[in-house]
Structure 1
Amino acid sequence: MIEGSRRERLRAQTAREIKETAMALLAEGGPGAVTLRAIGRRMGMTAGALYGYYATRDDLLTALIDDVYTGLMDEIDRACGVLPADDAAGRLMAWAQTFRGWATANPEGFRLVYGEPVPDYRPPPGGPAPEAERRACAGLVSLVAAAWPYAAGRQRDGGYDWGDFGPGLADEVRASHPELPPAAVAVALRVWGRMHGLVALEVHGHLRAQARHPEKLYREEILDLIASLGLVVGE
């Protein structure tokens, strides 16, 4: 039993080291640098030995994306969870600030989840991190649902119907928030786009010459977003 536990700990430690090495390669050389051969060379293992942990490079990338995305959502849930459920403005700001802080501290993780697809990567059916993606969509929709009594009169209808959205998202929203119209789902996706836009420019280095304090730009963008929903962040 003791020997088995020790073997399991060593295996878990090696699996973590494989992931850490893959992330280091990603940071140094981009997605194309992540190969089992390169990981094995850096760790002093043969590619064959790595197959005992991950059958293919795609399996490893799927595990990495799931870890990274889940870690992000855990941070966001903690930041939002300390605020009252009806404080939609505060939670939106907490979500946005946590997202930016995570992305700027972990640019390689941001690029892995939100950057260009890894060359020749074939994700599994349902995507590489379906539960984390579901949490992100559900969380943003819940924030918009809390804001909707104030936001509805400020938003264009846009002529949306449920067929404009993926069936998984549409079905979940209709089950969890039956009072919301399709236009609210469009608002949730637009909220995500505005939260993401300046962060992507910053992480990819496109604001370096233009903005000395990108965090100030980002906060103003999110305050404007919150105001567009008829909300105010409490001071």
Structure 2
Amino acid sequence: MKSATQPPQPPTQTRRERLRAETSAEIKAVALRLMADGGPDAISLRAIAREMGMTAGAIYGYFDTRDALVTALIVDVYSELLAAVEGARDRLPADDVAGRIVAWGVTLRAWAIANPEGFRLIYGDSLRGYEPPLQEAVTASEKRACEGLTALIAEAWPSAANRYCDEVYAWADFDEALVEKVRTAHPDLPPAGAAVAMRVWGRMYGLVALEVFGRLSPLAHDPARLYEDELKALVRDLGLTPA
């Protein structure tokens, strides 16, 4: 009797590969810690090498330049954030559009509060002189976030359309590559829907940024409540009923 065919197993990492992956992860963690202490411009390969007890030459074996390290950090941070918000969205049924939008927003804030350095890296001040060697990777992460929110607005559009019927936009008002993906995925969504998605993003981002950058806490004792009420107002503005 033949045994059932076993699925192919992923290749096992060698000890050298494991050590390299662990060291790369530590370099990124130290970079974020330096940024938390001294701002984005505190990230430098020499400073990280000193923190880790490595020589400057050794660390260049992992990242050729500071900009290569920053790009890797941005892509990693975006991937972590998007996995969190997309996972929260997808745990709710497709017909609970209001709940899916609120879940995205609540998870964005929770992630940002738990990972302020990562939030500041991707949504705060840019690093002086930073030129990403892999601009496509950074841009792809940014567009994935925009596409995710646009998909939520497409789900809400049957309720929201009448509220934005007087707003006139053209697809030429937006990034060409983004437009191509949005129109392919949501052929019934008009350009005004893409504009609404970006405004929704602005409303979600605004209070979170004020909180992460320490501008909200001196003024409001319960920023979580402010944010949750803003999310409820946001879904009501889309013609939906918040849970």
Task: Tell me whether the two structures share a fold, i.e. TM-score over 0.5.
Answer: yes
After TM superposition, the structure 1 = structure 2 runs for residues 211-222 of structure 1, keeping only pairs within 5 Å, are 211-222=220-231
Tell me which residue corresponds to 1:34: 43
Q: Does structure 1 residue 121 correspond to structure 2 residue 104?
A: no
Match 1:145 to one of 132, 150, 154 = 154
Tell me which residue corresponds to 2:57: 48
Match 2:194 to one of 185, 200, 215 = 185
Tell me which residue corresponds to 1:58: 67
How much does 1:129 deviate? 2.6
Paired with 1:53 and 1:137, the residues of 2 have a C-alpha distance of 31
Contact 1:92–1:143 (8 Å) recurs in 2 = yes
Contact 2:71–2:134 (8 Å) recurs in 1 = no
Tell me which residue corresponds to 1:204: 213
RMSD: 1.3
How much does 1:168 deviate? 1.1
- Structure 1's consecutive aligned runs of 4 or more residues displaced over 4 angstroms after TM superposition are none
Tell me which residue corresponds to 1:107: 116
Contact 2:169–2:191 (8 Å) recurs in 1 = yes
Paired with 1:134 and 1:210, the residues of 2 have a C-alpha distance of 33
How much does 1:127 deviate? 4.6
Contact 1:89–1:231 (8 Å) recurs in 2 = yes
Q: Does structure 1 residue 166 correspond to structure 2 residue 175?
A: yes
Paired with 1:25 and 1:127, the residues of 2 have a C-alpha distance of 26
Q: Give the secondary structure class of the aligned counterpart of 1:129.
A: helix
How much does 1:90 deviate? 0.3
How much does 1:134 deviate? 2.9
- Number of corresponding residues: 231
Match 2:14 to one of 2, 5, 8 = 5
Amino acid at match of 2:168: G
Paired with 1:200 and 1:223, the residues of 2 have a C-alpha distance of 18
Paired with 1:149 and 1:104, the residues of 2 have a C-alpha distance of 33
How much does 1:126 deviate? 3.7
Amino acid at match of 1:165: F
TM-score (norm 1): 0.95
- The 10-residue stretch of structure 1 (126-135 or 4-13) with the greater mean CA deviation from structure 2: 126-135
Tell me which residue corresponds to 2:27: 18
Match 1:85 to one of 94, 118, 128 = 94
Match 1:231 to one of 224, 236, 240 = 240
Percent of pairs with identical residues = 55
TM-score (norm 2): 0.92
Q: Does structure 1 residue 157 correspond to structure 2 residue 173?
A: no
Paired with 1:107 and 1:26, the residues of 2 have a C-alpha distance of 10
Structure 1: segments with no counterpart, 5+ residues: none
